[in-house]
């Protein structure tokens, strides 16, 4: 009898452990609004669905459209999580009152302070660097040093960069503003405008192609575009990416500018617990590895190594100015772009 009882309790115990973390409620769901459009996100959401039995519903749209949709929907929104690129957008969503403060749960503490909101309204999920790329044929690494130095006359007519409308440029400028103050940053904007090979146009990939086409010698781009281009099905993209080298600026000083793709928990979320589970899942080291690797980004979890592709560009020092501050300086940065004539 005793043996039988022991066997029964053992079976129950094993059953209990094997079901840990699993949900079987078929109505369980979590709704995501996201401006990311990478296959790796879908893979992770599918894996999460399988593991927890929680349906992940995804709405993909441009960041501006998602923000106006959240505004319109108010408390009736179905969204539980907003995922978007660039801390300046997360800052904006927080300011518009779309988020709620996230409780401290396991996984959140691991993410360094500068990659999350000071009040806990949003958190980074993956990290990217905005760097200089240069022509293999026409530039030596020894000619490069800092973002600041790109305003030097020696780069006249040689720089490719996108417009002031681009949030990545706005955040980069905000980082210069945080480091150097208004006067010097305005001078930098003016110097850059003088050095552009054409009035800013196109996306980051186009800037790399401008170097490949011999129109420019250096460009400012996000690292993952180089990774995506190197692995593209399009031969021109591959050749263009192969014609450039990644250079991490400001390595003797504050480091290269980094930004995030991040998430916030929607204030009117109806599936808070599921949303927490998903965020925790995306921050888990195993998933951080996949999340960052597939899109040539960097994990935000400090214990997760970067992928081999990304590692090929070398380790680097990053600017650890708080991204909350970068969001705060966005308006001032846009004003400086206007003042300095950056189109
Ligand atoms: Fe991007």
Q: Which tens digit of pLDDT belongs to each residue from 153-188?
A: 999 999 999 999 999 999 999 999 999 999 999 999
C-alpha 76 – ligand 1 centre gap (Å): 30
C-alpha 1 – ligand 1 centre gap (Å): 65
Give the burial string for 108-137 (b: 16+ CB within 10 Å, else e).
beebeebbbbeebbbbbbbbbbbbbbbbee
Which percentage of the chain shows pLDDT scores above 90? 85
C-alpha 225 – ligand 1 centre gap (Å): 7
- Collect all residues with Cβ–Cβ distance below 8 Å to 111 and sequence separation of at least 6: 123, 124, 283, 300, 301
C-alpha 47 – ligand 1 centre gap (Å): 24
Mean pLDDT for 22-36 is: 83
- pLDDT tens-digit profile of 271-280? 999 999 999 9
Extents of the domains making up the chain: 24-127+259-306, 128-257+315-340
Domains 24-127+259-306 and 128-257+315-340 share a fold: yes
Residue predicted with more confidence, 8 or 277: 277
CATH superfamily of 24-127+259-306: Periplasmic binding protein-like II (3.40.190.10)
C-alpha 179 – ligand 1 centre gap (Å): 24
DSSP-assigned letters across all residues of 84-133: EESHHHHHHHHHTT-B-PPP--TTTTTS-GGGB-TTSSEEEEEEEEEEEE
Asked if residue 18 has pLDDT above 50, the reply is no
The verdict on domain 128-257+315-340 having CATH code 3.40.190.10 is yes
- pLDDT tens-digit profile of 220-262? 999 999 999 999 999 999 999 999 999 999 999 999 999 999 9
């Amino acid at each position: 009898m005793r043996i039988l009882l022991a066997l029964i309790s053992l079976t129950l115990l094993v059953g209990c452990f094997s079901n840990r973390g699993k949900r079987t409620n078929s109505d369980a769901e979590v709704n995501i609004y996201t401006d990311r459009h990478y296959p790796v996100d879908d893979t992770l959401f599918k894996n999460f669905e399988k593991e927890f039995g929680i349906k992940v519903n995804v709405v993909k749209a441009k960041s501006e459209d998602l923000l106006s949709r959240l505004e319109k929907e108010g408390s009736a929104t179905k969204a539980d999580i907003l995922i978007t690129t660039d801390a300046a957008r997360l800052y904006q969503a927080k300011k518009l009152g779309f988020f709620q403060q996230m409780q401290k749960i396991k996984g959140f503490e691991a993410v360094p302070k500068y990659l999350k909101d000071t009040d806990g309204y949003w958190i980074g999920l993956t990290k990217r660097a905005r760097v200089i790329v240069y022509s293999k044929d026409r530039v030596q690494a020894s000619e490069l040093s800092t973002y600041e130095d790109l305003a030097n006359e020696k780069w006249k007519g040689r720089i490719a960069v996108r417009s002031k409308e681009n949030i990545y440029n706005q955040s980069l400028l905000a980082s210069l503003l945080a480091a150097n103050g208004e006067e010097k940053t305005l001078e930098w904007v003016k110097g850059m405008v003088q050095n552009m090979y054409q009035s800013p146009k196109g996306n980051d990939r186009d800037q790399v192609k401008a170097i490949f086409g011999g129109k420019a010698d250096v460009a400012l781009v996000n690292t993952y575009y180089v990774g995506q281009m190197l692995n593209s099905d399009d031969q021109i993209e591959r050749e263009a990416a192969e014609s450039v080298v990644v250079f991490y600026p400001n390595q003797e000083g504050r480091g290269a500018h980094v930004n995030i793709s991040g998430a916030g928990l929607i204030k009117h979320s109806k599936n808070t617990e599921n949303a927490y589970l998903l965020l925790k899942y995306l921050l888990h080291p195993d998933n951080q590895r996949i999340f960052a690797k597939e899109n040539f980004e960097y994990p935000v979890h400090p214990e997760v190594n970067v992928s081999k592709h990304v590692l090929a560009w070398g380790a680097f020092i990053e600017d650890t100015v708080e991204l909350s501050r970068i969001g705060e300086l966005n308006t001032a940065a846009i004003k400086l772009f206007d003042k300095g004539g950056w189109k």
